[in-house]
Amino acid sequence: MLEIRQAAPSDWPAIWPIFQSVVADGATYAYDPDTTSDEALALWMSPAASTFVATHGGAVVGSYFLKPNQPGLGSHVANAAFMVSPAWSGHGAGRAMGEHALRTARARGYEAMQFNFVVSSNERAVSLWKSLGFATIGVIPKAYRHSRLGLVDAYIMHRFLNDILARDEAETV
């Protein structure tokens, strides 16, 4: 069974190979494929974010972070980023983390969630976010240098979170 919990600093050695393999592919994240472990640690486990891991049988199979999309007057909108081990791609870890992030964001008082840079050719991610209620609210033309496809668009995706709490309350009745 997949479990999702807050990440501890001791989880970084298990998160790093996932980060490294996802970024090295050059197909989904704008992070430099040559990002070092120390640089990635500062990005992924920043004090400004809450980082979580998805585990199966004690092994880390995915990770995500949750943070305000903007400071101050924009801090009521959450932002998140997700990575799944290539070995676990297509096995539900991304969906489970996405659902967990939506519930966690709502419980923490966020009113919406926005993804600022979803690579348009990442069909699996785009489909997942749409199935979880996100809408594409903007297109950034040719914003991503895909390792195989060249320049592709990036999407800004958004959803409100007010229905998360109502649905969760209805399920507990």
Q: What is the pLDDT of residues 25-78, one digit of tens each?
A: 999 999 999 999 999 999 999 999 999 999 999 999 999 999 999 999 999 999
Is residue 51 within 8 A of residue 62, CB to CB? The reply is no
Q: What is the pLDDT of residue 68?
A: 98
What pLDDT sits at residue 164? 65
For the chain, give the mean pLDDT: 94
Of the pLDDT bands very low, low, confident and very high (cuts 50, 70, 90), residue 6 is very high
Domains and CATH numbers, the chain: 2-172 (3.40.630.30)
With beta carbons less than 8 A apart as the criterion, state whether 161 and 102 touch: yes
Res. 169: pLDDT tops 50: no
